[in-house]
Structure 1
Amino acid sequence: MKPQLSRRSALKTMAGTAAVAAVAASLEQRLVAEDRAAGRRGNVNHSVCKWCYPKVSLEDLCVAGKEIGLKSIELLTLEEIPTVKKHGLTCAMVSGVPGGITRGLNRLENHDAILEWFANAAPRAAALECPQIICFSGNRAGLDDEQGIKNCVAGIKRLLPVAEKHNVTLVMELLNSKVNHADYQCDLSKWGVALCEAVGSPHFKLLYDIYHMQIMEGDMIATIRKHHQWFAHYHTGGVPGRNEIDESQEIYYPAVMRAIVATGFKGFVAQEFIPKREDKIASLHQGVDICDV
């Protein structure tokens, strides 16, 4: 599978008949008009993680998000996705893998349950046009990093035939093990990249979480420039605290976002900060504004 394309990029690669070209041009104009109506530049596909807004219903977040210029609300279960589709949005990252963050692909005993779930979830996600599904390494629990990679490779290669058949991508998230997810194994970009290289398939990529990687290793722009071919998705969050991404925290998001755009990235960037201000939607709006370079 080729890396996930944006709707705009996909349109440009469609067959060159006059009828198809006319449809593509019409849809492209509509997408540009949507960006302009929301005051967006069109360089970034914006998303948000629903779990950060527990007191906002999914319906309300869809309405507010579309007004802000979001194209996606993510980390949803398959059952929740029809709600966002009803509002003309998508789910850029599907959630629900058994074992969650702590019991993942680095343990052979977890593979059967993950494969069983994935074999059912992949065709459903594909039918919903949501081709990215999140997964996790799991915690080390005494497992060394080399063996962790070997075990993950074994598990991922069992999943690849399903991913290839349904044209979906399995995306493992990079998380920090210092503050939020103690003992998590995929906690450095070099470990994640080594795993991608060992798997060697376009159906397996990484979710580069800017918040988590700032805590673990910093040097984000250089890392993005060097390894962007392995990064299928990005998340945001303020450091420290995982709150708003404005000047109250240490990451200068406009520079990071410009580096992402410069790589030619056409996937999604999702806001994954926990707003601490009373007006949660205003904080989300601000975060999208900051990242819209």
Structure 2
Amino acid sequence: MPRFAANLTLLYQEVPFLDRFREAASDGFRGVECLFPYDHPAQAVRARLDDAGLTQVLFNTPAGDWASGERGLAALPGREAQFRDGLERALDYADTLGCRQLHVMAGCPDASASLERCRAVYLDNLAYAAAQAAAHGITILIEPINPRDFPRYFLTRQDQAQAIRHEVGASHLKVQFDIYHCQIVEGDLAVKLRQHIANIGHVQVAGVPARHEPDTGEVNYPFLFRLLDELGYAGWVGCEYRPQGATREGLGWLKPWLRATR
């Protein structure tokens, strides 16, 4: 059965961030992820992980000025030095938290930017990141994201991500398969999972189209969870959705799967 990780940026917003670890553990989660942990000292986050008996599965490298709309730096020409500084900070956090995967966001290049130049910068930054991460025993992930949520995001399709992964040619570079984003952009979820499973490092879920609980909307998640088992997927499934109400009240979809893993 899949191993589910609570996304603590989106879930349990009823309590402050550092209190969300305890809440997730109380509901049966054994792993957690988040967008960014950097507002808190790494040791403080590690203490909450240890107290709750949780694994930090994933977080993002610094993505620039999030408040102003930046969504990553890796494909932005002229930001290479900032990208490398952020990667170094993320690796330090990952070492402290025992996190073995980092998501590198491509970003949303300016409409005037040359796509060829952006792609060349992206490839160089990913090769650098994968090499640096390998020395820490960490895998770098890239994630196609739908342009409805993030207009002009550089990476949007599974085949595009796999082609970039292949071109970089680093063993410590894999693709993060977010089912919500994939369904919005291209669909054909089961076929794409079968096609790319060997190079998928992490899976995320949310209902489509509103990004609520996975038992809402148009995606048949029980079928896909069984497919992941059939395909031998051994990674985590991140619950990166926006609860319709209080987080705990919306976890009915999860309880059968948690019972199956006990």
| 4+ aligned runs moved over 6 Å, structure 1 | none
Matches within 5 A, 1:248-267: 248-267=216-235
Measured in 2, the distance between the counterparts of 1:72 and 1:288 equals 14
Measured in 1, the distance between the counterparts of 2:248 and 2:179 equals 21
Identical amino acids, percent of aligned pairs = 21
Contact 2:60 2:105 in 1 (8 A): no
Alignment-mate amino acid for residue 137 of structure 2: N
1:173 and 2:143 aligned: yes
Change (3 A) 1:134 1:290: farther
Contact 1:254 1:291 in 2 (8 A): no
Matches within 5 A, 1:42-53: 43-53=1-11
Deviations 1:75-132 (A, max 9, x none): 1516334312321101111234142553421123222112122223314413432111
Change (3 A) 1:155 1:258: same
1:275 and 2:243 aligned: yes
Deviations 1:120-179 (A, max 9, x none): 33144134321111111111423465544322111112223321111111112221102x
Contact 1:105 1:111 in 2 (8 A): yes
Contact 2:21 2:52 in 1 (8 A): yes
Instruction: Using the TM superposition, give the Cα deviation of residue 229 of structure 1 relative to its aligned residue in structure 2, in angstroms.
Output: 1.9
Contact 1:103 1:110 in 2 (8 A): no
Q: Say which one has the larger Rg.
A: 1
Change (3 A) 1:211 1:205: same
Alignment-mate amino acid for residue 276 of structure 1: Q
Which residue number corresponds to residue 15 of structure 1?
Answer: none
Matches within 5 A, 1:1-293: 43-53=1-11, 54-58=13-17, 60-75=19-34, 76-77=36-37, 79=42, 80-99=45-64, 102-142=71-111, 143=113, 146-178=116-148, 180-246=149-215, 248-277=216-245, 279-283=246-250, 285-289=251-255
Contact 1:81 1:90 in 2 (8 A): no
TM-score between the two structures when normalised by the length of structure 1: 0.77
Deviations 1:233-256 (A, max 9, x none): 11111111111221x411000111
Measured in 1, the distance between the counterparts of 2:168 and 2:27 equals 38
Instruction: Using the TM superposition, give the Cα deviation of residue 287 of structure 1 relative to its aligned residue in structure 2, in angstroms.
Output: 3.6
TM-score between the two structures when normalised by the length of structure 2: 0.85
Alignment-mate amino acid for residue 50 of structure 1: L
Higher relative CO (Cα under 8 Å, sequence separation at least 6) belongs to 2
Change (3 A) 1:85 1:110: farther
Contact 1:77 1:96 in 2 (8 A): no
Contact 1:46 1:270 in 2 (8 A): yes
Alignment-mate amino acid for residue 208 of structure 2: V
Change (3 A) 1:81 1:214: farther
- 3-state SS of the aligned residue for 1:52? coil
Alignment-mate amino acid for residue 10 of structure 2: C
Q: CA RMSD in A?
A: 2.2
Change (3 A) 1:196 1:96: closer
Deviations 1:259-288 (A, max 9, x none): 2222211111011111113x32121x2242
Alignment-mate amino acid for residue 175 of structure 2: L
